[in-house]
Each structure stands twice: as C-alpha cells, then as structure tokens.
Amino acid sequence: MNQNQTMAIAEYLDNAMLERKEVDRITLTHPNLSLEDAYHIQAHGIQRRVGRGEKVIGFKMGLTSRAKREQMNLNSPIFGVLTNQMELQDKGLFQLEKSIHPKIEAEIAFILGKDVTAPLTESQAYEACSGVCAAMEILDSRFVGFKYFSLPDVVADNCSSSYFVLSGEIISIHKVDLSHLLMSFYKDGQSIQQAYSNEISQHPIQSLIQLSEMALKQGINLPRGSVILAGAATQAIALTSGSSFSLDVESLGTVSISVK
Ligand code: OOG
Ligand code: MG
C-alpha cells in the first residue's frame, strides 16, 4: 500500500470516530491489508489527532490476556497510542454520547520514569517504571457491531482505543509485587469479574517488555512520563447509561467512573 492509500484509510477511520458512526472494516475492501500497513494507518490517524492539538501521552497493549484473545478471536498482542484527550478523571463522569458502542475493561498501568529507546530486559523494565496503578480502558471500535476479523483491522483502528482512566494513587513499582494481585471489577457496586494480574501477559511487566520490542520495530520511542496500559485481564463489558464501574486492584487501589 502506498502512503496516499494508508492516509486515506486513516481519514476514513478518523471521520468515523469524529462523527461517532460505525464503518465497514478495512479488510472488506483491502483483504490483503498487512500488519505493517495497519501500523502506518494507525500512525497517520494519530498524526491527524496531533494536528488538532492533542498530545501523545502513552501507549496501550492489547490482547495480552487469554480472556481478551478469546473474546476477540485473535491471538497475538498489539499496541496502540494514547493521547491526552482520551484521559478521564478518576471518579469522573463518562458521557455515553462521546462514543459509538463503548466497552470497559480492567487493566493495570505503568508510568515511565525514563525514556525507553531500546528493547527492555526484565530488570530494565522495572528500572524504567516510576509507578504503577489500577486503570480502566474504554474501548470503542469504529467497526460495525464492534466486529473485526483480523489483527490489521484492529491495529489500523488504534486497537479500539477510546478513553482510559487511571487511579488517583500511583504506587512505586519497587513497593509492590505485581505477580499475583487480585483484580475485582464492579458494576453498580456488584462484583462482575475477578481475575489475577498474571492473566496479563503472565505478568504485567511482560506487557511493557513486549511493547518496548513492538513499538521500537515501528520506530517509536517511549518517552519518560508515558502512561502504558498493560492490557485487560478479563473480557470487556458494554457500557450502559446510569451505571458506575470500579476496579479494585489488591495493593494498588481503586479507580472508578460513572456513565451518563
Ligand atoms: C482490541 C483492544 C484490546 C486489551 O486490553 O486487550 C485491548 C479490542 O478488544 O477491541 O485493549
Ligand atoms: Mg485494553
């Protein structure tokens, strides 16, 4: 695919997001869309947002848990980009009309204390992180029925990124063992899902290590201060008006949002 084609597809997806209308998946018209083209489309889409004044503030890993890979019927981790406009406040309100068919999911996030410009080893990954916290991601695929059938479709669509919220409390990564933390997800105060943090890439720090490898392959550095979502531990849940969602992660804290 040439640059004009990848830019045109980025515009198509960007318009779908801005107009909050679902569109056909890319592979319907471009069945041979490659993962490489898909990451180019994603990058053009982010450039469009930056051109409107948004700032890149982080990255997300997706499909890092078995539950998510089964839910989406896709089998390999992917990454997307987060901007400041996607960040919601902990205990804040989410307006449903800001999206098409949003879903919410339970995550853990890292904050980078150092620039990452080379693939990380495990000890380097711990050194690179200044903090860790409970987080929720709101996904909103731009594709009809929140359905896509290939990794390139979802990668082109910035991995369904829409909004995210971090817990107000950020914990030093050196103060907590992330290997087996209970993550309890609540809707309207009722427990709806429970999982352990090792559902995420066997260990959430592995998501950061994978991101360092995948992003650098695309020529993307991870700057100091970046927020890194490690991927959901369990399946995403449809957002419904009037509901509240909260996630409590053992030793990390709680994050919550209400839907209007
Ligand atoms: C793709 C994004 C997956 C995660 O945490 O696994 C993701 C999707 O489910 O539409 O964000
Ligand atoms: Mg996610």
Phi, psi of 203 (to 5 degrees): -165, 130
pTM over 0.95: yes
Nearest CA owner, ligand 1 atom 9: 72
Over the stretch 97-120, which tens digit does the pLDDT of each residue have? Answer: 989 999 999 999 999 999 999 999
Contact in structure between 103 and 237 (CB atoms under 8 Å): yes
pLDDT confidence of 11, banded at 50, 70, 90? very high
Q: State yes or no: pLDDT of 250 exceeds 80.
A: yes
| Alpha carbon distance 117, 212 (integer Å) | 8
Residue 122: phi, psi to the nearest 5?
A: -65, -45
Ligand 1 geometric centre to CA of 229 (Å)? 10
Residue 72 has pLDDT above 90, yes or no: no
Residue with tokens 């995550």: 107
Mutation pick for ligand 1 pocket among 110, 142, 151, 160 (CB with most ligand atoms within 8 Å) = 160
Residue 70 CA, ligand 2 centroid: distance in Å: 14
Any idea what DSSP says for residue 150? S
Q: How many residues does the chain have?
A: 260
Six token digits for residue 108: 């853990």
DSSP E strands in the chain: the ranges are 56-62, 78-83, 87-88, 92-94, 103-112, 129-139, 161-166, 171-172, 182-187, 190-196, 227-229, 237-238, 244-249, 253-259
> Which 8-state DSSP code applies to residue 4?
H
| Backbone φ, ψ for residue 24 (5° rounding) | -65, 145
| Per-residue pLDDT tens digits for 163-201 | 999 999 999 999 999 999 999 999 999 999 999 999 999
Q: Compute how many other C-beta atoms are within 10 angstroms of the C-beta atom of residue 86.
A: 22
**Of the candidates 9, 43, 22, which has an alpha carbon nearest to the alpha carbon of residue 140?**
22
**pLDDT bracket for residue 133 (50, 70, 90):** very high
